A and B are shown apart, each in its own frame.
Chain A
Amino acid sequence: RKEVEQDPGPFNVPEGATVAFNCTYSNSASQSFFWYRQDCRKEPKLLMSVYSSGNEDGRFTAQLNRASQYISLLIRDSKLSDSATYLCVVNKGPRDDKIIFGKGTRLHILP
């Protein structure tokens, strides 16, 4: 099993729709979870951290299921500017500052 696994997409979604991405991770000892966004030819940028209780930031909701080792990202009322690659990121283990990136899910918002 890969350390961090994501559906590569692409997801082609009409503007205004809701879209959800999932990610699974293999190390049950991982403690920190993130979603990053990467635009074409740009560096990854932190979108949001994912907390055990779930968290919301505007149109974005992230959830963590530790039992299933599963992370999700929900984008509501999608905008054209949401088109990007979304990277699921997990830290390697307890007290480990190294992080592992999934290969990313490409999202295209269609006008």
Chain B
Amino acid sequence: SQQGEEDPQALSIQEGENATMNCSYKTSINNLQWYRQNSGRGLVHLILIRSNEREKHSGRLRVTLDTSKKSSSLLITASRAADTASYFCATDESNYQLIWGAGTKLIIKP
């Protein structure tokens, strides 16, 4: 089942600018995770935010969570060429299952 929906589907910005991606979901969650996927490869976990948290930082990443709106945003500050990737949000349906969005494709132009 598909729960998360990322927005926008694709985003192209200049190196050095900030990139913001959004994720909406449908049911109550315990936590929400963001993953990055470089072209044609596996996914790498970036950050997890729990349902009782509103904001979390990790390096150049900032994640917010609004449980009343069932939405999250991922902000990447001072973007670099290496940030070019697809970004996915995932919410927990159960202890075992994550529900994934379709992803946002981010392109950083030099």
A-B complex is real: no
